[in-house]
Structure 1
Amino acid sequence: MKSRLFITCAVTGSGDTVSRHPDVPVTPKQIADAAISAAKAGAAIAHIHVRDPETGAAARDVKLYREVVERIRDADTDVIINLTAGMGGDLVLRSGETPLPPDAAGTDMAGPTERLAHVAELLPEICTLDCGTMNFALGDYIMVNTPSILREMARQVQALGVRPELEVFDTGHLVFVKQLIKEGLLDDPVMIQLCMGIPYGAPDDVLTLTSMVNQMPPGAVYSAFSLGRHQLPYVGLAPMMGTNIRVGLEDNLYLSRGTFASNADLVGRAATILEAMNVSIMTPQETREHLKLVKRG
């Protein structure tokens, strides 16, 4: 059983959750404040997306990332910044017999350098790499991450001295992680996030999670999370599976049935569960040392 772990808080995500929760962070100030509050509640890492402040829709404007990061770095609360690099790989096909050309309303495809522009400018300690292409949720949306795109993104992130968090949504993604290790594109310790229960990736049952944990590369530092009502049960499962954990409004909007959560609420509940299990929660600095990160800002 794992006796010491760190908590990541995914504070807003890119999904259509703004219409389903009154307090999903949208503006850069709200996102930064949520990250800081999560850190005060016990999160070592804040995983950050940005949104259009006017519409709440997912965005990848470098100016929005810059404001969020500057606000967090200027705060008196320490937290490790983890910026998504997943935006720019969104392909929405048209339904029926004519899938092409893609639906312009939802499609946002960019090359590796453009997808990493905010990472190159702001140099967070961590950024994410979604390690494969998959049918993501319902409809005709495809999350696109080809091997050549991912290799180039890994090269650029490695050159920047930023630690990639490798987002693994299915077993084949883990195979590709091992290929990147073999090619020397990932530095130790390799950091992996097991993203469970996302249609149509790996289901969040314990046997699937066990299988993926058993396939971890030697020496990897790994976390796991699940969606919705399974998010907090995964916190209790994590020490027994040897994983670190992730909670937050990106993946779950409720503290309990019918009760909306805040990011700090979810981190606080996770901390309560872990402390009741006699599990020590790592501080940002302890997590930094564990992952061999270079503090920025």
Structure 2
Amino acid sequence: MNWDAFITCAVTGVGDSQGKNPHVPITPEAIAGAAIEAARAGAAIAHIHVRDPETGRGARDVSLYAEVVRRIRASDTDVIINLTAGMGGDLVLGGVEQPLPLNPRGTDMVGAEERLAHVTALLPEICTIDCGSMNFAEGDYVMTNTPGMLRAMAARVQGLGVRPEIEVFDTGHLVLCKQLIREGLIDDPVMIQLCMGIPYGAPDDPQTLMAMVNNLPPGAIFSAFSIGRMQLPYAAMALLAGGNIRVGLEDNIWLARGVPATNGQLVERAVRTAESMGARILGPAEVRAKLALEKRIGSLA
């Protein structure tokens, strides 16, 4: 049991969710507002994707990230900013009988430097690294992160002085994570996010979660979440397993059956769950100390 835990709120992903929940933020102003809302509700970390304001689809535009980060840093909250670096590794095959050429709708493959352009420009305290490839849900989409790509990204992030959050979707990803640690590409304290329940990665049953936890690198600080209806139960599950909590509209858009959630409501529910179990929720300053983060301050021009 983790008695002193922090909460990460993943405020918006890239999925086609805004039509099902009007609270899913799309514009930079709305995404920043959602992060600030989550912070006021008790989240110490805000995990950020950006979307094309016109289409609502996921984007890599540095200017969109810059506006979100500027608004958050100029707010009266002290929330830790965690920018995704998962964009740019999306591969969609052309079909089962003719996989090539690739399907241009959904395929977005770029090099390590371009995947990290927004991290280089904005220097968040944390950025994510998806530690492996996998068949991601249905169809012909593959989340693509080769060992060579991950080594290059890890080295770049390390050189920038940004803390990587290693996102682990299956047991083999932990093997690669440990290899990167042995190669000196990930500094202590190692920060890991266990991403459960995503087809076709690790299922979100307790046995699989504990198998993952029992194979973490020694001394790793970890969080765990599940997508969909299991997100809120995982607030308790993660604590019992010794970890920290992640909630947010990236992973689950419902507060209850048929009731669209806001990011603030999901964080509030997680806080109540943790405190009812006797745990204490850490604020940003305590999390910075725990993760040895270099605070980034001030607004952006």
- Tell me, which stretches of 5 or more residues in structure 2 are unaligned? none
Counterpart of 2:157?
Answer: 157
How much does 1:161 deviate? 0.1
Counterpart of 2:172?
Answer: 172
Q: Which residue identity does 2:37 align to in structure 1?
A: S
How much does 1:124 deviate? 0.1
Whole-Å separation in 1 of the counterparts to 2:278 and 2:207: 25
Counterpart of 1:228?
Answer: 228
1:210-256 superposed Cα distances (whole Å, 9 cap, x missing partner): 00000011110000000111001011112210010100000000011
Q: Is it true that 1:122 corresponds to 2:145 in the alignment?
A: no
1:167-226 superposed Cα distances (whole Å, 9 cap, x missing partner): 000000000000000000000000000000000000000000000000011110000000
- For residues 141-152 of structure 1, what are the structure 2 equivalents within 5 Å? 141-152=141-152
Whole-Å separation in 1 of the counterparts to 2:152 and 2:252: 32
Counterpart of 1:216?
Answer: 216
Whole-Å separation in 2 of the counterparts to 1:196 and 1:127: 19
- Tell me, which stretches of 5 or more residues in structure 1 are unaligned? none
Whole-Å separation in 2 of the counterparts to 1:35 and 1:186: 27
Q: Which residue identity does 1:283 align to in structure 2?
A: G
Counterpart of 1:274?
Answer: 274
- For residues 179-198 of structure 1, what are the structure 2 equivalents within 5 Å? 179-198=179-198
- Following TM superposition, where does structure 1 have runs of at least 4 consecutive aligned residues deviating by more than 4 angstroms? none
How much does 1:20 deviate? 1.6
Q: TM-score, normalised by structure 1?
A: 0.99
Whole-Å separation in 2 of the counterparts to 1:239 and 1:102: 42
SS where residue 210 of structure 1 aligns? helix
Whole-Å separation in 2 of the counterparts to 1:96 and 1:140: 8
1:80-114 superposed Cα distances (whole Å, 9 cap, x missing partner): 00000000000000113111010011100000000
Q: Is it true that 1:41 corresponds to 2:25 in the alignment?
A: no
SS where residue 12 of structure 2 aligns? coil
Counterpart of 1:60?
Answer: 60
Counterpart of 2:85?
Answer: 85
Whole-Å separation in 2 of the counterparts to 1:21 and 1:190: 34
Q: Is it true that 1:102 corresponds to 2:102 in the alignment?
A: yes
Q: Is it true that 1:296 corresponds to 2:296 in the alignment?
A: yes
Whole-Å separation in 2 of the counterparts to 1:96 and 1:293: 45
Whole-Å separation in 2 of the counterparts to 1:279 and 1:96: 49
What CA RMSD, in Å, does the superposition of the two structures yield over aligned residues?
0.6
SS where residue 19 of structure 1 aligns? coil
1:137-169 superposed Cα distances (whole Å, 9 cap, x missing partner): 111000000000000000000000000000000
SS where residue 81 of structure 1 aligns? strand
Whole-Å separation in 2 of the counterparts to 1:236 and 1:171: 22
Whole-Å separation in 2 of the counterparts to 1:18 and 1:94: 26
Q: Which residue identity does 2:67 align to in structure 1?
A: E
Whole-Å separation in 2 of the counterparts to 1:239 and 1:196: 15
SS where residue 71 of structure 2 aligns? helix
SS where residue 19 of structure 2 aligns? helix
SS where residue 11 of structure 1 aligns? strand
Whole-Å separation in 1 of the counterparts to 2:199 and 2:237: 21
SS where residue 91 of structure 1 aligns? strand
Q: Percent identity?
A: 68
Q: Which residue identity does 2:261 align to in structure 1?
A: A
Whole-Å separation in 2 of the counterparts to 1:271 and 1:119: 29
- For residues 230-269 of structure 1, what are the structure 2 equivalents within 5 Å? 230-269=230-269
Q: Which residue identity does 1:107 align to in structure 2?
A: T
Whole-Å separation in 2 of the counterparts to 1:146 and 1:16: 26
Matched positions, count: 297
Whole-Å separation in 2 of the counterparts to 1:143 and 1:239: 28
Whole-Å separation in 1 of the counterparts to 2:2 and 2:162: 26
Q: Which residue identity does 2:116 align to in structure 1?
A: L
